[in-house]
Amino acid sequence: KTLKIAVIPGDGIGNEVTAEGVKVLDAFAAIKGNIQFEYTYFPWGCEYYLKTGNMMDVDGIEVLKGFDAILLGAVGYPSVADHISLHGLLLKIRQEFNQYINLRPIKLLPGAPCPLKDKGPEDIDFVVIRENVEGEYSGVGGIRFPDRPEETAIQTAVFTRKNTEKVMDYAFKVAQKRNKFNKVTNVTKSNALNYSMVFWDKIFKEIAANYPEIATETNHVDAVSMYFLQRPESFDVLVASNLFGDIITDLGAALQGGLGFAASANLNLEKEFPSMFEPVHGSAPDIKDKGMANPIAMVWTVKMMLDFLLEDEDTEAIIEAITQVLLEGKSLTPDLKGSAKTHEVGDAICEKLKGL
């Protein structure tokens, strides 16, 4: 089986980490024997924008439709405004390909540094299902009376029933499959956001009624942030809006050892369009081309890509290989107080993988 992967290394450290992701994909394919990957590279991103005026080719979305998946490195560059670079590439792909699920595992691997005093890998193991195409990120709004004293900015969050239902439903399905508490935590703020989040809670209740065997809990996003520090062990699956999911998954990244460990999948579950896989970290232009970037988030991300593309393959060996490298402590990047280069970490993971 040949899988066609569109690779967009993007900006900053995107190139370096993407190379390690591809390395691990190839190592995995070599072990399995019956799959292979065909990569097509796209030089899109901020440098492309500075040259062409576009973050991606004008027919970019059309071109990407032909692929089984998209592997994205990172987007962002100091001289290009964030809302331009992101709306031109990352957010554009999420929305055009209706990748309405953003799946983000928060799991502290043995050997990874946790900032919390009394918590360890047994306490930090949950997953956030983030709505990924609408809500606060709908891009609706405007500025009235620009630069005048009466200037007013408005930003409108739009939530549709159909999409919200699908996101919640997926959260319950994930809770069914996970071997933890079979519990979904609804992340809301309906005590203040009197339309959107009251609606969100209503849909949550409706969908929950279809899964009587799944436990539920509803907490405001401010409380959830606090609970991440106080009782992370109480979470199993969380479902959150686009913005709230963004915030709590960065917080989750801190719990699991930093952005060097934060992987994500942008999924179109029906596979009408390709899904996109990207580490949560940004382009980190300050350490570009220094071989300092931690590729673990990207390796974890390709594991998620494999899970989505090859539903019946067991990919846990990749996490096991990362864990072995962490525990051995010899091949770690500077964020983990090591002195290994990005590619050395990738090599070490591949070597462990072959031994498993």
Interface with its own copies (CB under 8 A): 82-83, 86-87, 91, 114-118, 136-137, 139, 141-143, 148-162, 189-200, 221-223, 225-226, 229-230, 242-243, 246-251, 253-255, 258-259
| CA–CA distance, 189 with 192 (Å, rounded to integer) | 6
52 binds, among its own copies, ligand IPM, none (CB under 5 to 8 A by kind): none
The distance of closest approach from Cβ of residue 119 to ligand IPM in the complex, given in angstroms and rounded to an integer, is 23
Looking at beta carbons only, is 222 or 316 nearer to ligand IPM? 222
Looking at beta carbons only, is 93 or 184 nearer to ligand IPM? 93
115 binds, among its own copies, ligand IPM, none (CB under 5 to 8 A by kind): its own copies
The distance of closest approach from Cβ of residue 108 to its own copies in the complex, given in angstroms and rounded to an integer, is 13
Looking at beta carbons only, is 220 or 341 nearer to its own copies? 220
254 binds, among its own copies, ligand IPM, none (CB under 5 to 8 A by kind): its own copies
54 binds, among its own copies, ligand IPM, none (CB under 5 to 8 A by kind): none
71 binds, among its own copies, ligand IPM, none (CB under 5 to 8 A by kind): none
What residue has token string 């609706």?
Answer: 140
Looking at beta carbons only, is 26 or 201 nearer to its own copies? 201
Looking at beta carbons only, is 40 or 152 nearer to its own copies? 152
Closest CA to 178 of 231, 224, 125: 125
The distance of closest approach from Cβ of residue 189 to ligand IPM in the complex, given in angstroms and rounded to an integer, is 7
Looking at beta carbons only, is 84 or 192 nearer to ligand IPM? 192
Cβ pair 318, 301 in contact under 8 A: no
The distance of closest approach from Cβ of residue 160 to its own copies in the complex, given in angstroms and rounded to an integer, is 5
Within 8 A by CB and 6+ apart from 212, the residues are: none
Q: Work out whether the CA dihedral 83, 86, 87, 88 comes out positive or negative.
A: positive
Looking at beta carbons only, is 27 or 91 nearer to ligand IPM? 91
| CA–CA distance, 58 with 339 (Å, rounded to integer) | 41
For 29-78, give the DSSP string.
HHHHSS-EEEEEE---SHHHHHHHS-SS-TTHHHHHTTSSEEEEEE--BT
193 binds, among ligand IPM, its own copies, none (CB under 5 to 8 A by kind): its own copies
Exposed/middle/buried for 167, CB within 10 Å: 0-12, 13-18, 19+?
Answer: buried
The distance of closest approach from Cβ of residue 175 to its own copies in the complex, given in angstroms and rounded to an integer, is 24
**Residue numbers at the binding site for ligand IPM (CB under 6 A):** 86, 91, 191-192, 222, 246, 280
Within 8 A by CB and 6+ apart from 255, the residues are: 106, 108, 114, 115, 116, 119, 124, 228, 229, 232
260 binds, among ligand IPM, its own copies, none (CB under 5 to 8 A by kind): none
Tell me the two tokens of residue 304: 């998620």
149 binds, among ligand IPM, its own copies, none (CB under 5 to 8 A by kind): its own copies
Tell me the two tokens of residue 287: 């350490």
The distance of closest approach from Cβ of residue 2 to its own copies in the complex, given in angstroms and rounded to an integer, is 36
Taking the CB of residue 119, how many other CB atoms lie within 10 A of it?
Answer: 17
| Orientation of helix 242-255 relative to helix 221-230, angle to 10° | 10
Tell me how far CA of residue 163 lies from CA of 87, 101, 168, in angstroms.
Answer: 20, 10, 9
Tell me how far CA of residue 69 lies from CA of 215, 278, 287, in angstroms.
Answer: 33, 11, 28
| CA–CA distance, 84 with 139 (Å, rounded to integer) | 12
Looking at beta carbons only, is 143 or 223 nearer to ligand IPM? 223
40 binds, among its own copies, ligand IPM, none (CB under 5 to 8 A by kind): none
Looking at beta carbons only, is 92 or 178 nearer to its own copies? 92
